[in-house]
Chain A
Amino acid sequence: MSNAMLNTPEKILPPVLQLVDVHRQFDDFTAVSGITLDIREGEFLTIVGPSGSGKTTMLKMLAGMDAPSSGNITLRGELINHLPARQRPTALVFQSLALFPHKSVGENIEFPLKVRKMPAAQRKERALELLRMLRLPEHYYSKNVMQCSGGERQRVALARAFAYDPDVLLFDEPLSALDYKLKKVLEKELKDLHRSTGKTFIYITHSLEEAMVMSDRIAVMRGGRIVQVGTPETIYAKPADDFVAEFFGEVNKFAVSFSHAGGWYSAETGQIFQFELPEHLASATQALVVVRPEYMHLVEPGQHYDNQLTGTVFNEYSLGSRIQFQVRCGSCSVLVEVPRTWAGQLRAGATVSIGFNIADALVAGA
């Protein structure tokens, strides 16, 4: 149904960073294995995955705070496995921001310039320029950094990272500690910053929302490996397996087994599903059918779907922009989503007919 790596039809820029078969082994466990990835110049790549999937280890190896046990990391063709962080043209924005609490906003921003021995007057000019770029008032220059709000500190950390014009910016879950509204604002600003500066952004998060909103491409990691790389749309619509599908939103999963009477029998729902097996599952007798709630439709009169089920509505949730129904089919609970503008009415206990098209579903190995 889909490959692990899909190339988009847009213009492909040469890779700025390349990882080839990178492993990172610690004494008692393997953090990362078999990572091969091209990171393109100027793209916004997000690495997502659950905790422990190896994302932070990856980031540390790119930043120079850790080195791979085997494999190669190259920057524009040059091998950088053991190049220390201070010599790499990368800047890392830490999860805790790592702002120097004993220095002012200006001193924090100027730090990378100071260690590069830029004269004081020039440093100040650049710092003020960065304050403007990050939309912080100029008088914050001498303000103590710990007296700024959470969002302001984020901007100071960004300004500091941009100060010495690095080629690659690395972000370690920078927005995870912020409240929802602030997060949304900063997501848009980060995206704008990416567009206006043209730098390569490598962003780590466990939040799929952030990934979807900001990225050019997403790499999904699990258990130390990359499971899928692609644009947000591709990953959402054509997930490589049920793990990826589930990671990016709620799904309905039906375990089915091949029925000699024809089709695939779902024991939970008591229904028979009809579909063609994808190539890589050609000889399977069991499979998983994964359907997103928004592709599970209420069958209106005159409509017809590849597969249909009957069930009883037992719960309704308002999710803001859409409404979700829980429908009991057999012994399992199926999620059905309709937009808020849906004109119909459904009471608890009502019998409904729901259906989906195979083209909107993912068939994965059991």
Chain B
Amino acid sequence: MYDQAQRRNHFFIRCWVTFVLLLIYLPITCSALASLSKSRYFMFPVRQYSFEWWEKTLASMEIKTLLGNSLAIATLVTLIAVVLAFFGALAFARYDWKGRKLYQKLLLLPIFFPQAVLGLALLLWLNALGLMPSWKTAVFAHLVWIVPVVTLVIAIKVYSYDATLEDAAADLGANRWQIFREVTLPLLWPGIWSGALFAFLLSWGNFPLSLYTAGADSTVPKWLYSKMVAGYTPMVPALGTMSTLGAIVVLALVGLLVLSLRRLRQAN
């Protein structure tokens, strides 16, 4: 089926993909190396490897506060985003209603928008409302961008959702609440999980919005940036790498959970 030319092209394409992937993870690896260097200033090749800066990072009170802030924001963002986005996704993909096409386009606008400008605009708005920026306003800011993204993620799953199952349930005697509990929610649950994952990770790593709307409260990305600009220590790449590893762990755990649930169901 494939001819020579096609196979050669496919080989080059695969090489290209590998090359790009390597380039993508190159700076991340460099960061990891920088965090393992004993000296305060980064020199390559590294003269002495050590986990010293990692220990300092883990012990630092300042960093603990940061982590707490970032975690609080991300958790709250996830919970609120998932609820708003779930219904938003149903409106996006499941129900046919009059303003739907317009709604779909309006929903996408915050995504096609520079986050720094959004952050500043929100600052103006908060100022007008007389609200002090803090980690709570950062939650609000994150949501403005993240809710549309999560809505899209869930909407993609909703598209392949078979709405006649709800009709069948109604025909068999179920009321609205029973239909929601027995049919809609269980079938859309995987989409909700993906959405929650996106919400959490996107909020965790967000910088531009946090910069302008978190006020005095610092998050991990904010701290990293301020130290990059002035007062660099290897705690920066250490925390950065730890943050990366944390994201990997979260993804891996969720992935394993999904796989094992699937295997459980098949075995039944």
Say which residue of B168, B173, B268 sits within 8 Å of A94 (CB atoms). Answer: B168
CA distance A343 to B3 in the complex (A): 58
Contact between chains at A98 and B168 (CB < 8 Å)? yes
Q: Which residue of A lies closest to B172 (CB)?
A: A112
**Chain A stretch 188-203: residues in CB contact (< 8 A) with chain B:** none
Please give, as numbers and ranges, the residues of chain B lying within 8 Å of A64 by CB-CB distance. 171
Contact between chains at B171 and A91 (CB < 8 Å)? yes
Contact between chains at B174 and A86 (CB < 8 Å)? yes
Q: Is B183 an interface residue (CB 8 A)?
A: yes
Please give, as numbers and ranges, the residues of chain B lying within 8 Å of A85 by CB-CB distance. 167, 170-171
CA distance A104 to B172 in the complex (A): 17
Contact between chains at A96 and B173 (CB < 8 Å)? no
Contact between chains at A86 and B171 (CB < 8 Å)? yes
Please give, as numbers and ranges, the residues of chain B lying within 8 Å of A90 by CB-CB distance. 171
Contact between chains at B268 and A98 (CB < 8 Å)? no
* Minimal beta-carbon separation of B193 from chain A (angstroms): 14
Chain B binding surface SS class: helix
CA distance A86 to B171 in the complex (A): 5
CA distance A112 to B265 in the complex (A): 23
**Chain B stretch 144-203: residues in CB contact (< 8 A) with chain A:** 162, 164-165, 167-175, 178, 182-183, 186-187
Q: Is B266 an interface residue (CB 8 A)?
A: yes
Q: Is A65 an interface residue (CB 8 A)?
A: yes
Say which residue of A91, A94, A101 sits within 8 Å of B164 (CB atoms). Answer: A94
- A112 in contact with B187 given A98-B165, A98-B167, A104-B268 (CB within 8 Å): no
Q: Which residue of A lies closest to B266 (CB)?
A: A144
Say which residue of A96, A114, A142, A163 sits within 8 Å of B162 (CB atoms). Answer: A96
Q: Is A347 an interface residue (CB 8 A)?
A: no
User: What range describes how many residues of B lie at the interface?
Assistant: 20 to 34
* Minimal beta-carbon separation of B176 from chain A (angstroms): 9
- A65 in contact with B182 given A112-B172, A116-B173 (CB within 8 Å): no
CA distance A35 to B167 in the complex (A): 24
Contact between chains at B265 and A98 (CB < 8 Å)? no
Please give, as numbers and ranges, the residues of chain B lying within 8 Å of A92 by CB-CB distance. 167-168, 171
Contact between chains at A144 and B265 (CB < 8 Å)? yes
CA distance A306 to B172 in the complex (A): 57
Contact between chains at A115 and B167 (CB < 8 Å)? no
CA distance A161 to B171 in the complex (A): 9
Contact between chains at A65 and B167 (CB < 8 Å)? yes
**Chain B stretch 123-147: residues in CB contact (< 8 A) with chain A:** none
CA distance A64 to B171 in the complex (A): 8
Contact between chains at A112 and B186 (CB < 8 Å)? no
Q: Which residue of A lies closest to B183 (CB)?
A: A100
CA distance A96 to B164 in the complex (A): 9
Contact between chains at A160 and B171 (CB < 8 Å)? no
Contact between chains at A86 and B187 (CB < 8 Å)? no
CA distance A96 to B162 in the complex (A): 10
Contact between chains at A160 and B187 (CB < 8 Å)? no
- A98 in contact with B164 given A104-B268, A142-B268 (CB within 8 Å): yes
- A65 in contact with B183 given A94-B164, A96-B164 (CB within 8 Å): no
Q: List 25 A-B contacts (CB under 8 A).
A: A63-B171, A64-B171, A65-B171, A85-B170, A85-B171, A86-B174, A92-B167, A92-B168, A92-B171, A98-B162, A98-B164, A98-B165, A98-B167, A98-B168, A100-B165, A102-B187, A111-B172, A112-B172, A114-B182, A115-B169, A115-B172, A115-B173, A115-B175, A116-B173, A144-B268
Known: A85-B170, A116-B173. 13 other contacts (CB 8 A): A85-B171, A86-B171, A86-B173, A92-B167, A98-B165, A100-B168, A100-B169, A101-B187, A104-B268, A114-B182, A144-B265, A161-B172, A164-B172
Q: Give chain B's interface residues, CB within 8 Å of chain A.
A: 162, 164-165, 167-175, 178, 182-183, 186-187, 265-266, 268
**CB-based closest 10 A-B pairs:** A98-B168, A112-B172, A115-B174, A85-B171, A92-B171, A85-B170, A86-B173, A115-B173, A86-B170, A98-B164
